[in-house]
Structure 1
Amino acid sequence: MSKETRVPEIDPATAAALGWPKSKYAWVERERRWLCRAVPLDHVVRSEVYEDLYVTGPQLRLRRATPTDGGPEMLRLGRKADVSPAVRLLTSIYLSPEEFRLLSSLPGRVLRKTRHSLGKIDGANVFVDVFEGALSGLIMAEAEFETVEAMEAWPMPDFAYREVTDDVRYTGGMLVTDGLPGEPD
């Protein structure tokens, strides 16, 4: 994220325009993303395999998260709407296996990755994703923040080499439809 980019907070009119007439049913995600050459394995506190179905058309994502330690799967349907490259509204519904099976028949494209949680670092929740399939070789970190100010002040992690927050080609929806981008602009 460039320093001159000022990220807006979300007002009720913006939320309504994005399809959230009652924004109290959504939460705000503030995140930055970076490309990495490797996962800092000495910092990993847990890992999950994600299988995301990006439903064709709407901004819906069906996610199966399976802990690598053998814990129970988490199944959910999520909806996102971007306010800016770094700020979005989200909502999720947790699903039973029967509900998940029903919704998994929707048309869309699947993205697979292993998400490594590094826990909280200097106030941010930090993750490193290792992508599979057509996106094999892509390793991307993301950090989630409580406030815009914290997000803007946070430095690039030492295990990353290039920030791609402002490059929409590195969002899940674009990666699953357009594939692995060339070098970021």
Structure 2
Amino acid sequence: MMDKTGGVQGQSVRPGKYARVERERRFLLAEPPEPSSVTVTRVITDRYLVGTRLRLRRADFPGGDRELKLTQKVPIPRPGGIQGLITNTYLSPAEYDLLASLPAVVLSKTRFSVPPLGVDVFDGPLQGLVLAEAEFTTDEEAQSFVPPPECVAEVTDDIRFTGGRLVEASRQDVLGWLAEYGIHPE
């Protein structure tokens, strides 16, 4: 059973030696960034392991480099930039392959680094969704951040635009959500 902090009853949910506070704000964009503004591109495949708060991520970079990691996100239900606690473990290819054999729902996207934002352009049923996020090390940084003009709407507090929810969304769901913000992808 979940407790009011998003943790499992009987388990503590607080920053510590391994978990850190995740501070990020999310924004909708009407279109992908201009190629000239992109500093790094990677294709990301996220596997949300069924029945857990765990996400298995494979990020493929141009030139063949790859980053493999297992992430646990424990949400903290409070508005604003503090999203919860996050713990990352970097994996070897063999470890990744073993964990990838577990039941999961999959989300794929291309992430463009456009400092200070990471801009995700989604594939498959989420095509047309362009979601930007900015990460921060302090509460003050998160609160004082002024998003660039290409950010159409802030969706930090709209749970529908979190990876764990998007992975379960249909194309019709996403098109409806975007229309609520005045975005109508072609």
Residues 1:49 and 2:43 are matched in the alignment: yes
2:101 equivalent in structure 1: 105
**How far has the Cα of 1:77 moved from its partner?**
0.6
Residues paired across the two proteins, number: 167
Task: Spell out, residue by residue over 1:26-55, the C-alpha distance to the aligned partner (whole angstroms, 9 max, x if none).
Answer: 121111111101222232100100000001
Alignment match of 1:129 (pick from 104, 109, 120): 120
**Aligned match of 2:30:** 37
Residue in 2 that maps onto 1:175: 166
Once residues 164 and 6 of structure 2 are traced to their aligned partners in structure 1, the CA distance between those partners, rounded to angstroms, is 21
Query: In the aligned structure 2, how far is the partner of 1:64 from the partner of 1:38?
Result: 24
Whether 2:151 is the aligned partner of 1:155: answer: no
Shift in Å at residue 23 of structure 1? 1.6
What is the RMSD of the two structures over their aligned residues, measured on CA atoms? 2.3
Q: Which amino acid aligns with 2:130?
A: I
Counterpart of 2:23, as a letter, is: R
Distance in 2 (CA, whole Å) between partners of 1:157 and 1:105 is 40
What is the CA distance between 1:154 and its match in structure 2?
1.2
Shift of residue 15 of structure 1? 8.0
TM normalised by structure 2 equals: 0.81
Q: Which runs of 5+ in 2 are unaligned?
A: 182-186
> Match of 1:117, as an amino acid?
S
1:7-156 equivalences in 2 (<5 Å): 19-20=12-13, 23-41=16-34, 42-67=36-61, 69-83=62-76, 84=78, 86-87=81-82, 88-119=84-115, 121=116, 126-156=117-147
Per-residue CA deviations over 1:111-151 (Å, capped at 9, x if unaligned) read: 000000113x3xxxx11000000101100110011111211
Contact preservation (8 Å) 2:41, 2:110: yes
Q: What is the alpha-carbon distance in structure 2 between the residues aligned to residue 32 and residue 115 of structure 1?
A: 16
Cα pair 1:15 1:21 within 8 Å, conserved: no
Aligned counterparts of 1:156 and 1:78: Cα–Cα separation in 2:
27
For residue 26 of structure 2, what is the amino acid of its counterpart?
A: R
**Corresponding position of 1:5:** none
In 2 relative to 1, CA 73–22 (structure 1 residues): closer, same or farther, beyond 3 Å?
same
TM-score by length of 1: 0.82
Q: Percent identity?
A: 44
